[in-house]
Structure 1
Amino acid sequence: MLDFDVAQTRLAEAGKRPKDTENCPLYQAAGRVLSRPVIATLDLPPTDNSAMDGYAIRYADYHAGRRLSIQQRCFAGEQPQPLQQGQAIRLFTGSLMPAEADTVIMQEDCHEIDNAVDIRQEPKKGSHVRKQGEDVRAGQTILSAGTLLGAAEIALLASQGIIELPVYPRLKVGILTTGDELVFPGQPRKNEHIYNSNGPMLAVLADKLGARVVHVLHALDTSASLQKALNTLLKDCDLVLTVGGVSVGEKDLVKPAIEQAGGTLDLWRVCMKPGKPVALAHARGKPIVCLPGNPVSAFSVFALLVTPLIRTMQGRAEILPPVHWGRLKTSREFKETREEFLRVRAEPTPHEIPGLVPYDKQGSGIISSLPWASGFARIRVNTAVGNDAVVPYYDYRYWLA
């Protein structure tokens, strides 16, 4: 069987990084990937300003017991007068620092009476002043190409007055489920049918990563149905994901359908549980990844093997998210001839790392384990692991984002 880490690397490298770029409005940029670095054109803060509600003074004017006259009250958004010697200016958080002032005394340390202020606590020179450029300097690279944009990045871009930015086009993903036994939710179901959970699941997973799901198609177990669906997906999508139908049974027709579409397929038996059968193909210059049909297996393969490929094709700088550590909390021992990825829930402990509680049932058809879990605990091949063992933890928050 193919080593799990080797399979992960091969899939991450199976797609091409994007070359095209487009402009995107700031307010629509969440989930997009920067195609070029962004250079600051403005110091942040643009000028010195007050970090507190309080009083701006010259530090040299402070003497214990000395009362300073209030020269002006200046709110944020107003222009302060130059500070005169021996006086103070009432400021508020965000107010510009007056010329000649170098220190802000927060209001809790002051007492105002008769338009003058008593300073009750000796200040430190320069205290509570946000200095121009202390956050960002003009000319500084604030975001690199390949950055995935979220609320924090958009806040930084907005602080520079940016309203449009260069991004890579959204990756177009097509999903193909197969099998005569499947019907989509909302359709009539006979006794011999089961509802198609893989199609909606994979569509949501791809969408959450910022991809654009163009099609979610289903093909019957016939060459004509598969060929028609594949032709549509290869025409309209950058990446195709198929589910089921790549084994060696009489109705496993995905492989010949890919070959008829001009592709070649490499079927792997990956050393992982769940999710051993995985196939990679290229047709018309586009990658096709064939996932196992069991929903938990499809979910696991997508999270651990397909998301690095998607990140590559999106142009992201970070392809493999971090792997954390946790401590198993279990009454049983795990030992497998494949790398096992347990569905676990992370729980806080007094220690630095979380406790990882496995779901009671770990079968590849146990869909209820997916919403219950917060990630995967990795059990190394041929290694006996039990309670309190420290193991790698693949957190959904990072691997599915």
Structure 2
Amino acid sequence: MALLSLDEAQARLLALARPLPIERVAIADALGRYLAEPLRARRTQPPADLSAMDGYAMRAADLPGPWRVIGESACGHPFAGTCNAGEAVRIATGALLPAGADMVLMQEDAAREGATLSLTGTPPDPLGKHIRCKGMDFAEGAQLLGHGTRLGPAQMALVLGAGHSHVAVRRAPRVVIIDSGDELSSDPGNCAVHQIPASNGVMLEALVRQALPCSVLRIGPVADRMEALAAVLSQCEHADVVVTSGGASVGDHDLIRPALAAWGAEIDFWKVAVKPGKPIIVATRGEQIVVGLPGNPVSSHVTAFLFVLPLLRALSGAVAPLPRSVEAIAGEDLPPGGPRREFVRAVWDGRQVTARRNQDSGALGTLAASTVLIDRPAEAPAAPAGTPVPIYLLENGGIA
């Protein structure tokens, strides 16, 4: 059976994803969620002309002064009267510009003795420079964010500034993560020589939670026995996504595929031409999607990065769920690529990227010390130091 390319496998996986139902949540609870509909402004910002500086509001026609100070406009406490010829109003940054005024003189450019104000510096150029005009940011009715926009801190502030307390988003995905393997020990401080600490489940849960809001149930470690796998799969009836780690290959104890079949899941594809992580499984059971990851920790991490996170973003309503690469400069010579597309663990200093020496799929030390993945195409020619190469950022879930 020919291996699927990464692009084809990702396309097939995302074609299975149907955005989850829409719900409305308070903006304070919307961090990391994706808008399910465009967001339009319910108000104009600023709602009126405001001062951008501490100083004095006045009529530009009265330059070069002097002026008589007749009051003050502070934030939340506007001046109630009108600024007429020869008059000035003390004004704070963000305060409402008084009626009649069309200029703000910075306090550094003025001198005041009692109620008399004199020009000592240079008037603003242009004269309206220090005024935030009504609607400068946005006007009522304007579309501010499109559907599928991820809500970060700045977007949350914009939603509130636009007059919204709640937003329409997709329901957070319900995820079950199953860590399986007879070699796994739940006690990392008490492992026999034939055992290793069960780390994949915790790693995958952390990877998912770091990337976007989800409801996660983690199960394991689970023994390599059909009855044990059947018992944990029976706990997945309400999951949108089931992620398994281990048992996805072709050995006598790799039981994930037959266990999924017995559970009623249908395999959509198996094996992808990537390194690490070739024996990845994608299956469906009704609307549920199963992603079977390899058991080697690096393979599990990389394939979760390439498949699980994009799937969860798509279910959450993202319009661009795949990770985005950025360009870096190879700090050392990179060897030719092999028959599979390879993701090389590496460190990036903001310009140059350097591959870690140990690229074994079980090397957790290398994974933990890496900040990026270098994307090396199948059969890629050698890349001398100084060559631009695409990289994926690991620390933020792949969203550059």
Shift of the 107–152 alpha-carbon distance from structure 1 to 2, 3 Å rule, reads same
Counterpart pick for 2:343 among 338, 341, 344: 341
Spell out the pairing of 1:31-180 with structure 2 (5 A cutoff).
31-63=32-64, 66-80=65-79, 81-119=81-119, 120-123=121-124, 124-180=126-182
What residue identity is the alignment partner of 1:76?
A: C
Cα drift, residue 144 of structure 1: 2.1
For residue 378 of structure 2, give the secondary structure of its aligned residue in structure 1: coil
Give me the whole-angstrom Cα distance separating, in 1, the residues matched to 2:208 and 2:50. 44
Cα drift, residue 322 of structure 1: 2.4
What residue identity is the alignment partner of 2:39?
A: V
Cα drift, residue 12 of structure 1: 2.1
What residue identity is the alignment partner of 2:382?
A: A
**Corresponding residue for residue 308 of structure 2:** 306
Give me the whole-angstrom Cα distance separating, in 2, the residues matched to 1:175 and 1:342. 25
For residue 280 of structure 2, give the secondary structure of its aligned residue in structure 1: strand
Kindly indicate whether residue 215 of structure 2 is the aligned counterpart of residue 215 of structure 1.
no
Cα drift, residue 355 of structure 1: 0.6
RMSD: 1.7
Give me the whole-angstrom Cα distance separating, in 2, the residues matched to 1:40 and 1:239. 35
Asked whether the equivalents of residues 73 and 97 of structure 2 are also in contact (C-alpha less than 8 Å), the reply is no
For residue 16 of structure 2, give the secondary structure of its aligned residue in structure 1: coil
Cα drift, residue 36 of structure 1: 2.2
Asked whether the equivalents of residues 334 and 382 of structure 2 are also in contact (C-alpha less than 8 Å), the reply is no
Give me the whole-angstrom Cα distance separating, in 2, the residues matched to 1:185 and 1:122. 72
Could you give the per-residue CA deviations for residues 309-331 of structure 1, whole angstroms, max 9, x where no partner exists? 11111111221232211111125
Cα drift, residue 216 of structure 1: 3.0
For residue 371 of structure 1, give the secondary structure of its aligned residue in structure 2: helix
**Corresponding residue for residue 368 of structure 1:** 365
Give me the whole-angstrom Cα distance separating, in 2, the residues matched to 1:221 and 1:267. 22
Could you give the per-residue CA deviations for residues 273-303 of structure 1, whole angstroms, max 9, x where no partner exists? 1111111111233110111111001111111
Shift of the 321–249 alpha-carbon distance from structure 1 to 2, 3 Å rule, reads closer
Asked whether the equivalents of residues 201 and 218 of structure 2 are also in contact (C-alpha less than 8 Å), the reply is no
Does 326-335 or 167-176 show the bigger shift?
A: 326-335
What residue identity is the alignment partner of 2:219?
A: V
For residue 137 of structure 2, give the secondary structure of its aligned residue in structure 1: coil
Cα drift, residue 109 of structure 1: 1.6
Kindly indicate whether residue 355 of structure 2 is the aligned counterpart of residue 358 of structure 1.
yes
Give me the whole-angstrom Cα distance separating, in 1, the residues matched to 2:363 and 2:336. 18
Cα drift, residue 242 of structure 1: 0.7
For residue 306 of structure 1, give the secondary structure of its aligned residue in structure 2: helix
Cα drift, residue 398 of structure 1: 5.2
For residue 363 of structure 2, give the secondary structure of its aligned residue in structure 1: coil
Give me the whole-angstrom Cα distance separating, in 1, the residues matched to 2:99 and 2:310. 53
What residue identity is the alignment partner of 1:232?
A: Q
**Corresponding residue for residue 318 of structure 1:** 320
**Corresponding residue for residue 351 of structure 1:** none
For residue 13 of structure 2, give the secondary structure of its aligned residue in structure 1: helix
Cα drift, residue 82 of structure 1: 1.1
**Corresponding residue for residue 248 of structure 2:** 246
**Corresponding residue for residue 227 of structure 1:** 230
Spell out the pairing of 1:199-210 with structure 2 (5 A cutoff).
199-209=201-211, 210=213
Kindly indicate whether residue 272 of structure 2 is the aligned counterpart of residue 270 of structure 1.
yes
Could you give the per-residue CA deviations for residues 113-134 of structure 1, whole angstroms, max 9, x where no partner exists? 2322222213332120001111
**Corresponding residue for residue 30 of structure 1:** 31
Structure 1: stretches of 5+ with no match in the other structure: 349-353
Asked whether the equivalents of residues 218 and 229 of structure 1 are also in contact (C-alpha less than 8 Å), the reply is no
What residue identity is the alignment partner of 1:256?
A: P
What residue identity is the alignment partner of 2:151?
A: L
Asked whether the equivalents of residues 42 and 164 of structure 2 are also in contact (C-alpha less than 8 Å), the reply is no
Asked whether the equivalents of residues 34 and 148 of structure 1 are also in contact (C-alpha less than 8 Å), the reply is yes
Residue identity over aligned pairs, in percent, reads: 32
Counterpart pick for 2:299 among 297, 300, 304: 297
**Corresponding residue for residue 379 of structure 1:** 376
Asked whether the equivalents of residues 53 and 94 of structure 2 are also in contact (C-alpha less than 8 Å), the reply is yes
Give the count of matched residue pairs.
Answer: 392
Cα drift, residue 255 of structure 1: 0.8
Asked whether the equivalents of residues 32 and 149 of structure 1 are also in contact (C-alpha less than 8 Å), the reply is yes
Asked whether the equivalents of residues 60 and 103 of structure 2 are also in contact (C-alpha less than 8 Å), the reply is yes
Give me the whole-angstrom Cα distance separating, in 2, the residues matched to 1:185 and 1:167. 39
Shift of the 39–331 alpha-carbon distance from structure 1 to 2, 3 Å rule, reads closer
Could you give the per-residue CA deviations for residues 230-277 of structure 1, whole angstroms, max 9, x where no partner exists? 1212x1210011111122211111111111111122453322111111
Asked whether the equivalents of residues 39 and 139 of structure 1 are also in contact (C-alpha less than 8 Å), the reply is yes
Cα drift, residue 186 of structure 1: 5.6
For residue 317 of structure 1, give the secondary structure of its aligned residue in structure 2: coil
For residue 315 of structure 1, give the secondary structure of its aligned residue in structure 2: coil
Structure 2: stretches of 5+ with no match in the other structure: none
**TM-score for both structures, normalised by structure 2:** 0.93
